[in-house]
Amino acid sequence: NAGVTQTPKFQVLKTGQSMTLQCAQDMNHNSMYWYRQDPGMGLRLIYYSASEGTTDKGEVPNGYNVSRLNKREFSLRLESAAPSQTSVYFCASSEWGSGNTEAFFGQGTRLTVV
Amino acid sequence: AQRVTQPEKLLSVFKGAPVELKCNYSYSGSPELFWYVQYSRQRLQLLLRHISRESIKGFTADLNKGETSFHLKKPFAQEEDSAMYYCALRGQGAQKLVFGQGTRLTINP
C-alpha cells in the first residue's frame, strides 16, 4: 500500500521555466491538498480539492495552478517559476468522516528555483 | 477564518524534562485539532487528535475551548522526540486543513 506518492523528489529549475508536480493516492480519498513548507512559515495551503472535478484556493495560490485529473491524481503546476517558489512541496489526501480523521502525506518534493 | 498559531519556532529541553509545545487557534465553531510530527527525513505523520483523547508516545493534548488552545505535553522528554511538530485545525464540516508555523523540538542528552 503506497499511500500518497509524489514525483519528483528533487528538482532544480531556472527562473521562468515551468514544471508540474505529480501526486497520486491509492486510498480512494476524496480530498487532496498541496502545501508548501518554508522555514519559519510552517505548512501553507496552496490549493485543495474536496472531490474529483473541484478545486479551491488555499492561503498562497498565486503563481500556481492545479488539476484534479481523477480521484487518484492531483497535480500542481508552476507556469513560470520564480526564486520565491523555492520550497518543499507536500501533497496530502484524506477522507473526512467515515471514521477517518487524518490526512496522509507524501514524502515531499524539494524544489529549487535559481 | 481558521488560524493556528504556534508561538515557539524553536524549543530545546534536556532529556527527562517536561515538554510543552503551545498551540492557539482562531475559529468560531467547533474545530477538530491535530498534532502532526515530522522526524528527520520522514514524511509528516499524525501524532494525535483531540477527539480521540489518546496518549501517543507519552504525548497528550487537551483542547481548551475557553483559551482556544491545544497544547502538546509530555512529562519526560526522550531524545527520539526531537522533531518538527505542527498543530493543525479543520473547521466543522470543512475540507480545508490549516497548519501552524511549526515548532522544532530538540531534546538534549
What tens digit of pLDDT does each residue of B70-106 get? 999 999 999 999 999 999 999 888 888 899 999 999 9
Cβ within 8 Å, pair A35-B46? no
Q: Please, what's the largest Cα pairwise distance for chain B?
A: 43
Average pLDDT, chain B: 92
Q: B6, B53, B95: which to substitute to probe chain A, counting the most A Cβ within 10 Å?
A: B95
Query: Which chain B residues are closer than 8 Å to A108 by Cβ?
Result: 43
C-alpha cell at A97: 468522516
What is the predicted pLDDT for the residue at A96? 80
Q: Is the pLDDT of residue A78 over 70?
A: yes
- The A residues from 51 to 110 touching B (CB cutoff 8 Å) are 56, 58-59, 90, 92, 94, 96, 101-103, 105-108
C-alpha cell at A8: 519528483
CA distance B22 to chain A (A): 14
Q: Say how far residue A12 (Cα) sits from the centre of its chain.
A: 17
Measured CA to CA in angstroms, residue A101 lies from A61, A75, B1, B89 at distances of: 25, 23, 21, 11
